[in-house]
Amino acid sequence: MFESAELGHKIAKEVYRKELPPLREGLLDAQLDLLQSKKFPVIILLAGVDCAGKGETMNLLHEWMDPRHIESHALRELTDEEQNRPPMWRYWRDLPPKGKIGIFIGSWYSAPLVENVYGRTKNAELDQQLDRIIRFETMLCNEGALILKFWLHLSEGQQKKRLKKLEEDPKTRWRINETDWKNFKLYDRFRTVSERMLRSTSTPEAPWTIVEGADEHYRSLTIGKVILEALRRRLDAPETPPVDEPLPPMLTSIDGLQILQTLDLTKKMTKPQYDAELETLQGRLNLLSRHKDFSKISVLALFEGNDAAGKGGSIRRVTQALDARSYRVIPVAAPSEEERAQPYLWRFWRHLPRRGRVAIFDRSWYGRVLVERVEEFCSHADWMRAYGEINDFEEQLVRNRTVVLKFWLAISPEEQLKRFKEREKIGFKRFKITDEDWRNREKWPLYEQAVCDMIDRTSTEIAPWTLVEANDKYHARIKVLKTICSRIEQALEKR
């Protein structure tokens, strides 16, 4: 894999001087087109052997293009706000919006590589990590991002020469430290693991470009040209309306029996029973939130359900049990301008709770496979892939010791009609029934199908859905509280 990058590629100074001006002009031009069209974000990864010119390339790209619209990110110590969230949180924070360029040195590949080279992870774990990376990058590509990955390579001899040279020059000596030499001693091991990594993460959407790093002119010109070509190709592609590929149909139960139908919506609870249980459960939840190990986990509860199913009321019964300082409710509405310039999960990543905190989402990322699917706000392929992306997302949360609770509040069409009419009668503005509510109601079967598919595909053992029979509000609220308490208890016991 690295053979072609050890041939001693070289570009003569005169050639470089001649080729550079049109390249720079072209890059600047493409960057401006990108900025004005805001068609897509560009993510450039610079990875590879130590001292192969990653930093130099980063600086060069800033010089060649307009630095006002590039943001570069290097490996660095995590801040404590980052340490509190899943590892990918810091990269989500740094993703460039549409129209801009983000350059990453190191990036999400660094830790898996180094950990494996130093024997801290097994190969099976590495493969898992790489698999997650592939899924992450595929998601970015599906969301429109252009990802350009460069691997700067040096042969063992070249690296040694370069380390020595940097060390001998008093002006560059500061760049070399013990870790560099320690890594160098493991050159072969780095090479083997890198090869495995590159091989398995070189996907059609986001392939690696391996570049010999020894000759500065060759390296810079190669990278510049690849970037320019990729940019131009995407920018100049005709605007074709997204063709809905003929995806295989999703299985719908051929006997008509679906999960929602198994719910016994007649479940009920009396007021006195409710009052007693509510008090007990709220007290239990409050105690749990002050448990000594609570600061080691975080809790994320999301609420979805039919219109008028009582999400707001259930959420309030939960928040009443918590100290106002420890939770946040995130009402999910239409995305803002800044959010629309990012992948659809971005606006949820930004609200992830730190440890010791509770985040409650009133509606959530499941909008993608519910309203966006039914109302055709996104393409068939978009919501089809969302199931997997959502499972990946929640897996990251769980791995970061987040208790993920997902509630579907289900009512019958009859109960909904009753509530709509009551609300119309009271005419109280905070329960205003809009035309949209009535329109949604007409699509009941479509929504029901979407809900069943959602549950089938995203109710996982680490983040299961809890289906809540909500025709009776008392029953619903108690079930929600009970579930939250017992899931938190499980999480605390495991610690």
Q: Rule CB under 8 A: which residues touch its own copies?
A: 28-29, 32, 55, 58-59, 61-63, 66-74, 76, 79-81, 103, 105, 174, 290, 312, 315-316, 319-320, 323-325, 328-331, 336-338, 362, 429-430
Handedness of CA 51, 52, 57, 60 (dihedral sign): positive
Q: Pick the closest to residue 299 from 348, 361, 350 (CA basis).
A: 361
State in angstroms the smallest separation of the CB of 80 from its own copies.
5
110-117 helix and 123-142 helix, angle to the nearest 10 degrees: 170
DSSP 377-388: SS-HHHHHHHHH
Q: Which is nearer to its own copies, 362 or 456 (by Cβ)?
A: 362
Q: Which is nearer to its own copies, 271 or 430 (by Cβ)?
A: 430
Q: Which is nearer to its own copies, 163 or 359 (by Cβ)?
A: 359
State in angstroms the smallest separation of the CB of 221 from its own copies.
19
State in angstroms the smallest separation of the CB of 59 from its own copies.
5
Residue with tokens 């805001």: 38
Q: Which is nearer to its own copies, 70 or 454 (by Cβ)?
A: 70
Q: Which is nearer to its own copies, 198 or 481 (by Cβ)?
A: 481
Q: Pick the closest to residue 158 from 2, 3, 8 (CA basis).
A: 8
Q: Which is nearer to its own copies, 74 or 462 (by Cβ)?
A: 74
State in angstroms the smallest separation of the CB of 282 from its own copies.
11
State the Cα–Cα distance between residues 148 and 161, nearest whole angstrom: 28
State in angstroms the smallest separation of the CB of 189 from its own copies.
27
Tokens of 254: 């051929």
First-last CA distance in the chain = 44
Tokens of 261: 């139908």
Question: 71: which DSSP letter?
Answer: E
State in angstroms the smallest separation of the CB of 68 from its own copies.
4
Q: What angle do CA 19, 25, 31 make, to 5 degrees?
A: 130
Question: 250: which DSSP letter?
Answer: P
Q: Which is nearer to its own copies, 70 or 378 (by Cβ)?
A: 70
Report which secondary-structure segment, H or E, holds 212.
strand 208-212
Report which secondary-structure segment, H or E, holds 456.
helix 444-458
State in angstroms the smallest separation of the CB of 32 from its own copies.
5
State in angstroms the smallest separation of the CB of 313 from its own copies.
11
Q: Which is nearer to its own copies, 425 or 429 (by Cβ)?
A: 429
State in angstroms the smallest separation of the CB of 332 from its own copies.
10
Alpha helices by DSSP H, listed for 336-443, are 337-340, 346-349, 371-374, 380-399, 413-426, 435-442
Handedness of CA 150, 156, 162, 167 (dihedral sign): positive
Q: Which is nearer to its own copies, 428 or 444 (by Cβ)?
A: 428
State the Cα–Cα distance between residues 275 and 476, nearest whole angstrom: 13
Contacts of 388 (CB under 8 A, 6+ apart): 135
